[in-house]
Amino acid sequence: MDYREDQTIVDFRNEVQTFISDNLPDDWGSKPQGEGYDADVMQVTRAFQTEMAKRRWLTMAWPEEHGGLDAPHSQQMIMSEEMAYHRAPGAGGNMGVQWVGPSLMLYGTDEQKAEHLAGIADAETWWCTLYSEPGSGSDLASLQTRAVKDGDDYVINGQKIWTSGAHVSDWGWLAARTDPDAPKHKGITMFMMRMDTPGVTVRPLINMADGHGFNEVFFEDVRIPQTNVVGEVNRGWYHLAVALDFERSGIGAFAGGRRTVEEITEFAQDNGHLLEERPNARYELAERHIEVEIGTMMAYRIAYMQEHGVVANHEASMSKLFGSELGQRIAKTGMELLGLRGNVWSDGPYAALQGRLSRSYVSSVSGTIAAGTSEIQRNIIATRGLGLPRG
């Protein structure tokens, strides 16, 4: 495996860096952005993604026939790496790009594709994924939100939770149970629904960092036309997690981590007394730098495997596990270095790094839960990677 970048990749990386510089406010990467859904942040995000869409960068991994560039995994990874390092609002958090579009390409009707794919590719519509429920998170197949056929409609009743961006989304990508008597991995169907449909209530969930990214969503006799069913009825579980063969290296965690470690190091150098008071911080910072390099190599390897037709299964779990836990270690190292200044959140005379580390410290707690818990990742690594028996 050769990690050296040819001139094409070097030129593309420079092009992405220039694009980010030209299309984001000068102070964007240095200021805390909360959960990214504040009105002013969303305005910048939508404008930025619209410019990405003009270059087909928002959907660069999509096939050309559906508005993408059919880009190779290495190019996709470079895009993700630069976006994460510069804290740019790229395609990573766009559920329409990540989940809805790929599923529609495989399972949607021609009418559904014509109605929705262009809007996603052009950054005109924003989607959320209505998956998790209060009693169905890691064990998502146990979901209980019901969809009952009634004439030409389905009537939805139930609740979803931890729905990112539901309060700013135009459409929702809903998993609901259509056959309560079927085994739990069967009897689930996928639906598209407008978030302003009567009977839908969205309530905010404020996290420990005082950010509003998550929501709980309630459905009370919500009617969805049967034309909004995607794929086969009762086969939704097998459609739910589809993402085609897109780049899944996890590079974003390591590129973002690199930026934060560099900032902590620079702050420590500018405030030498901090290292005098906490001499062990030098060793911790060195470890964090090394871990970022290790994680980056793990991510590069996954992209290399995918580009050569090898499915990265347990390797992707390794990257996710290492990246989410590294994020917690980076935040902890920074907070211990800052001491009492780490308790100052606001951007004032006593706030260090504009309070970003303080927010990162509390928000990183969920990193080992979201997108697959560390326990699940370790199970995948053990069974699929090491061949260990279950139970």
Rounded CA-CA distance 93/257 in Å is: 17
Q: Phi/psi class of residue 223: alpha, beta or left (left: φ > 0; alpha: ψ in -120 to 50)?
A: beta
Q: Which two tokens stand for residue 145?
A: 């939100």
Q: How far is CA 28 from each of CA 20, 21, 267, 285, rounded to the nearest angstrom?
A: 10, 10, 18, 25
Residue 36 near residue 213 (C-beta atoms within 8 A):
yes
User: What is the maximum alpha-carbon separation in the chain?
Assistant: 73
Nearest residue to 330 (alpha-carbon basis) of 295, 372, 279:
295
Rounded CA-CA distance 150/148 in Å is: 6
Residue 238 class from Cβ within 10 Å (0-12 exposed, 13-18 middle, 19+ buried)?
Answer: middle
Residue 388 near residue 378 (C-beta atoms within 8 A):
no
Q: Which residues contact 3 (CB under 8 A, 6 or more apart)?
A: 297, 300
Catalytic positions, written as ranges: 247
